[in-house]
Structure 1
């Protein structure tokens, strides 16, 4: 006869699983309206994020539209080997990382500083007016931003060069000089997105207890000491989370912005993975090569997010999970 204790132990996982499933359904029924509210977002991620991941298999195939997804020849790691062996690979890696490092160093702190400045404005009407002004560039397309840049900095019709030539000096080729390209990309991003980036930080600052500021005033703390000792520590978790997510985009550059600002004279500093994927996958019809670049970027981004999150948690801070 089977040992009763052993039989009970053998049936334990099934009972635990059934108990866990029942608790899950009870929780779903208890909060059914919240889950119903989240249903559109869940469906969005299922349809547009998870299901298309089957397409990553194209990176391991020599995809032919006539043969179809399953009929195309399986090539294994050939597409990745071709990507790493491409003579432009390290050029693209350098350009992509440099543009993102410029953005991380110069762009990332700007929304924080701007949010602190807006938070210190005490006149509500003036504060809302300034918030609206700094938000507006976000809603402009990159086509408009690139056109504005051309009319400001071009050598023939640019306002800046007209002022330079009227002062007796030679015009400067801002748009065709490779030395200015990375700085120009960073400046465009700062002007367009810095205001929009303040939203999350302003929301975090709104959650700070006003009594902490009142106590600081009673202790004689200046506005600067209040910012340094109360405001910035309060939004530190938000800064850390956004920094981790930003590090996950270190091999991802805004495709539309780079494509619009490219020209033959700056290709040595403007060729990045996004434009390479567009050239190979769309213009040349090598869809597998384009998918390979996207998968490479995704894997590197995942590694950077996991690594930075691990380091942050080891330092005693709260990560993204």
Structure 2
């Protein structure tokens, strides 16, 4: 028996050695490709995988003087405190509501805009429109929030000035909770929809032109060509981006919400990111902030894996 076990171990070691040699041979053969990928790998190692040690803070009574490893373990107490917090329901409701608004109303806009730009045959006009819709992406959220205040404030907002000139009452857009979610949605569409068309425009280029020619010969109208050729050609890209978006379902825009937030709309504007900032950074409860981030990551992982599984079961290609 010992001899048989020894032979099996030798065979396993030999197989492992052969696999290692093949791996290193492949690395040497494609060394320039790995060299090109090295900056991205280093970035993810330093800024994505390295900070994951900080997740330990969610299970510890963290003290900056003792450090992460020196702080005492407290188990899941912070998660219990989070779920018992009176504001937890509001945070969950607001985060889910804003996420669903962006998913159902913002996500399709870049697709629609890319298709419309693709149908424009005048190159100069198309480039002009692309430049105009790309430009807001390069503005910071501070500038975007300032423009929103300039447009919607009660005293100096030109929207209320127009309403006043028409003999109508002013609307307190920025302090009325009923307007907060629509304002956030419109801001996101105005700022990022144009930039989001870049990936879809690249996917449109890869669609075989012969498909359009065949559809045209068959008598298909422009709308029918879009429906039967363009959209199916975009479907793999749409699916991948949708899965990735679902993986970040609770990332609804910390900076945007923080800049638009005020005490009068806190009930509809408090999300997990702003709560983590106020409790973890401003009040020094770093462990609680880490627990909030860990909770968000778990929800995102569940959505990512579930959506990827459902997509693959439906016959489409997932991301893993």
Q: Give the match for residue 112 of structure 1.
A: 111
Specify every segment of 5 or more residues in structure 1 that has no aligned partner in the other structure, as ranges. none
Displacement of 1:2 after TM fit? Answer: 5.7
TM-fit CA distance, 1:65? 1.0
Is 1:217 equivalent to 2:216 in the alignment? yes
Alignment correspondent of 1:201: 200
Residues 96-118 of structure 1 show CA distances to partners (whole Å, capped at 9, x for unaligned) of 00001011111011000000000
Structure 2 unmatched ranges of 5 or more: none
Q: Deviations over 1:136-195 (max 9, x none)?
A: 000000000000000111111000100101111110011111011111100000000000
Match of 1:228 in 2: 227
Matches within 5 A, 1:186-197: 186-197=185-196
Equivalent residue for 1:51?
Answer: 50
Using the TM superposition, give the Cα deviation of residue 30 of structure 1 relative to its aligned residue in structure 2, in angstroms: 0.1
Question: Which residue is equivalent to 2:13?
Answer: 14
TM-superposition CA deviations, 1:258-291 (whole Å, max 9, x none)? 0110111101100000000000111100000111
Instruction: Give the structure 2 partner of residue 287 of structure 1.
Output: 286
Aligned partner of 1:136 in structure 2 is: 135
Aligned equivalents of 1:37 and 1:2: distance in 2?
48
For 1:67-96, what per-residue CA distance to the aligned partner results, in whole angstroms no more than 9, with x for missing partners? 222222211111111111111111100000
**1:256 corresponds to 2:252:** no
Secondary structure in 2 matching 1:265: helix
1:223 and 1:280 map into 2 onto residues whose CA distance is 54
Root-mean-square deviation (CA), in Å? 1.2
| Correspondence 1:1-321 to 2 at 5 A | 7-321=6-320
**What SS does structure 2 have at the residue aligned with 1:187?**
helix
Residue 16 of structure 1 deviates from its aligned partner by 1.5
SS of 1:73's partner is coil
Runs of 4+ in 1 over 3 A off after TM superposition: 1-4, 6-10
CA distance in 1, matches of 2:144, 2:2: 77
| Distance (Å, rounded) in 2 between the aligned partners of 1:104 and 1:299 | 19
Shift of residue 3, structure 1, vs aligned partner: 5.5
**What CA deviation, in whole Å up to 9, does each residue of 1:191-217 have, x standing for no partner?**
000000000000000001111111111
Alpha-carbon distance in structure 2 between the residues aligned to 1:10 and 1:22: 18
Residues in 1 aligned to 2:37 and 2:70: alpha-carbon distance in whole angstroms: 38
TM-score (norm 2): 0.97
Count of matched residue pairs:
320
Aligned-residue offset at 1:7: 4.6
1:104–1:2 Cα change, 3 Å: closer
Q: Residues 30 and 151 (structure 1 numbering): CA distance in 2 closer, same or farther, change over 3 Å?
A: same
Secondary structure at 1:63 match in 2: coil
Quick one: distance in 2 between partners of 1:62 and 1:8? 51
Structure 1 CA distance for aligned equivalents of residues 207 and 284 of structure 2: 53
CA distance in 2, matches of 1:115, 1:14: 54
- Give, in whole Å, the separation in 1 of the partners of 2:7 and 2:205: 55
- State the Cα deviation string for residues 123-148 of structure 1 (Å, max 9, x = none): 11211111111100000000000000
Normalization by structure 1: what TM-score?
0.97
